[in-house]
């Protein structure tokens, strides 16, 4: 039994790394993937590659540090597909270099994406999944 067949999944940070691998594997198993990333060109490349391999995928530009944008994407995906089965909160950023050299602005960006992005994604998905009485939220933390 393939539990991912015909499921609808949003993957944040889907343009590269773990997010890309998740999108490709979910699609390989028959799911519809919504590849979201702040890097729209990268998200479109991943979605196109999935479609070229016979899968179903869409690309969406999303900055997970913006609660209203996360809520809007979840609403739009749910309206278009009738439900949301999986929310993969995967987007993350890092600062390269010595921790002691990080600026307050860099720390704010890390917190906004790596923590608040997960909270915004979880809350938006819960708002859909509770009334539909099903769904899974997966948080991939750096």
Please report whether residue 3 resides in a domain. no
Please report whether residue 26 resides in a domain. yes
Q: Which domain holds residue 127?
A: 8-139
Please report whether residue 43 resides in a domain. yes
> Residue 47 above 80 pLDDT?
yes
Give the count of domains, the chain.
1
Between vectors from CA 37 to CA 34 and to CA 39, what angle results, nearest 5°? 130
Please state, in angstroms and as integers, the Cα–Cα distance from residue 92 to each residue in 8, 38, 139, following that order.
22, 11, 11
Please report whether residue 92 resides in a domain. yes
% pLDDT > 70, the chain = 100
Please report whether residue 35 resides in a domain. yes
Please report whether residue 1 resides in a domain. no
Q: Assign residue 33 the CATH number of its domain.
A: 3.40.50.720
Q: pTM for the full model? A: 0.95
> Residue 80 above 80 pLDDT?
yes
């Amino acid at each position: 039994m393939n539990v991912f067949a015909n499921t609808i999944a949003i993957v944040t940070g889907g343009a590269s790394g773990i997010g890309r691998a998740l999108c490709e594997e979910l699609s390989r198993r028959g799911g519809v993937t919504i590849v979201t990333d702040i890097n729209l060109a990268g998200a479109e490349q991943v979605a196109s590659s999935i479609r070229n391999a016979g899968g179903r995928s869409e690309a969406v530009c999303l900055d997970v540090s913006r609660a209203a944008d996360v809520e809007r994407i979840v609403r739009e995906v749910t309206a278009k597909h009738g439900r949301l089965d999986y929310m993969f909160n995967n987007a993350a950023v890092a600062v390269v270099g010595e921790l002691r050299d990080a600026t307050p602005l860099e720390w704010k960006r890390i917190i906004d994406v790596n923590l608040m992005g997960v909270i915004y994604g979880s809350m938006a998905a819960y708002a859909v999944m509770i009334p539909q009485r099903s769904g899974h939220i997966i948080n991939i933390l750096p």
